Structure 1
């Protein structure tokens, strides 16, 4: 990753980190002054989000390391590992502490003191979180093309964008819940409502964590490239007059922008080994030119009847 572009490429993460650090401090101060359980839960939430951005930045830095003997395909998938850790943190720390704090406040309710500070902090937090959410959404929409938002989430191979987008969405939902909880607790003189709001925030975080964990797990196991890109590879290979048929094109993302491809192709019987080597070398050069994301290309000459088939999932 080029140094001049590092901040630009990670603008979503840096923006979210700056916003969450400031918000976390303000929320804890407000919780200490007013005794709001929902506000304390939101403070925990912001701390977890800040740690998550740090981990994703670390993961992106590590994923840029060049290949070596121990890791011949590079470290790109390390980003996927840290995205999975982030999902665990959101669930275990964010959701767990929020639900525990809400349950404690429900069982031993404390009268809510002057909520004015809470309203001020919540208003500032909504502005900051909304700004971070807007930046993340803009980056996400720029990458999705004609895909729907949910389809792009399932298709995306870059967790540094969709993790922040989902975290910020959960944060905005949590802020709304916290505001309603503080208001209802004060208006109806029912401190248990504040504890209930904290548990609802925990539930929101748990759902987001489950979605993130599912997608991060899929990326860790190894996801194929888009069907359009696979089709393009197949078309380029089939267009060669020395190829009688393409048995299969198998791809796997080794990082958000790097793809390993293994191609099994049936060649004309009259081609010699020397000619085949030259043809395949030229094909690999063309594939890298047409599709720069292909970091590793493996072409195997193989008779159609001998080629292994993939079972449908």
Structure 2
């Protein structure tokens, strides 16, 4: 998996979640806490999600073939979308079901110290996992870019998924600690059920946010505004063309951007000179935006008045907000 895939963050999250899930199941068996069961299912779902992200990263590396001439890079988006569905169904809906069940059929919680100890240890372990995800994200996060913007506009789905999972896991652990702690203090098992409902609602919110962002990537997003500006500058900075008539960009995968443009040349320029000019422009574009690996330039004769609109306004495809 490429650096942008955050393989280290995924592995760290997987190892943490597997250990935490086992401890939570043991605590649930001993105490009977619904919040602990919801958190155990949450950790199992997260562990499965990390395996799916790793699998998607491996499958995306397959070479292009006749059936998929642009390669398999978008498989990473498919697996990230599956992760959001799992979080919604296995994590969120199950937790809400369990919370409602415990409200209608209250169940006494015993041995409070066991789930509380497990939850405190889990918070520490999840904090380490989140720290790893933050470090890995900082390698690819733009300078001055906010975390909300990074999650919304990142073309590599793995790091935003792990970040949201880890943040959701920490908040969920706090909810579970609230439910078990208040049940211990008041003796009312309703708080344990309430903690479970809060965990389920949190997971559904995270799943919907992930689903919206990965759907946009699956449909197809163009380059960011900054990258489009760099590409346009690389094309127009040289003396080769009269005008950039129009340009479109599309991410074929997190690390592979396709650039297609129509370039207006002088009508009297020989074909060999046009080909040499295109080669130089391609070199400048790849130097400006290294992810621009697939480039198609269509040479044309520019006729003033045929296309009065500036290329950066009407004809440049921008990334989805």
Bucket of the pairwise TM-score, normalised by the shorter protein? over 0.9
Corresponding residue to 2:134 among 114, 134, 137:
137
* 1:13 and 2:6 matched: no
Q: Matched residues in 2 for 1:45 and 1:96: separation? A: 11
Give runs of aligned pairs for residues 1-313 of structure 1, distance below 5 A. 10-144=7-141, 145-302=143-300, 303=302, 305=306, 310=315
Deviation at 1:23, TM superposition (A): 0.4
Could you report, residue by residue, the CA deviation over 1:107-133 in whole angstroms, capped at 9, with x for unpaired residues?
000111121000111011101111001
Stretch moving more, 132-141 or 272-281: 272-281
Could you report, residue by residue, the CA deviation over 1:172-193 in whole angstroms, capped at 9, with x for unpaired residues?
0000000010011121111111
Structure 1 segments of 4+ aligned residues over 3 angstroms from their partners: 306-313
Q: Matched residues in 2 for 1:89 and 1:61: separation? A: 20
**Unpaired stretches in structure 1, ≥5 consecutive residues:** none
Q: Matched residues in 2 for 1:249 and 1:146: separation? A: 28
Q: Matched residues in 1 for 2:93 and 2:152: separation? A: 26
Deviation at 1:258, TM superposition (A): 1.1
C-alpha RMSD of the superposition: 2.1
Q: Matched residues in 2 for 1:68 and 1:83: separation? A: 23
Stretch moving more, 193-202 or 63-72: 63-72
Aligned residue for 1:243, secondary structure, equals: coil
Q: How many residue pairs were aligned? A: 310
Q: Matched residues in 1 for 2:239 and 2:29: separation? A: 75
When normalised by structure 1's length, the TM-score is: 0.93
Deviation at 1:138, TM superposition (A): 1.7
Stretch moving more, 49-58 or 63-72: 63-72
Deviation at 1:9, TM superposition (A): 5.0
Q: Matched residues in 2 for 1:210 and 1:11: separation? A: 25
Deviation at 1:291, TM superposition (A): 2.9
Q: Kindly indicate whether the alpha-carbon contact (under 8 Å) linking 1:87 and 1:210 is maintained by their aligned counterparts in 2.
A: yes
Q: Matched residues in 1 for 2:245 and 2:137: separation? A: 35
Q: Kindly indicate whether the alpha-carbon contact (under 8 Å) linking 2:230 and 2:288 is maintained by their aligned counterparts in 1.
A: no
Q: Kindly indicate whether the alpha-carbon contact (under 8 Å) linking 2:235 and 2:284 is maintained by their aligned counterparts in 1.
A: no
Deviation at 1:15, TM superposition (A): 0.3
Deviation at 1:139, TM superposition (A): 1.7
Which structure features the higher share of helix residues? Answer: 1
Q: Kindly indicate whether the alpha-carbon contact (under 8 Å) linking 1:77 and 1:254 is maintained by their aligned counterparts in 2.
A: yes
Deviation at 1:290, TM superposition (A): 3.9
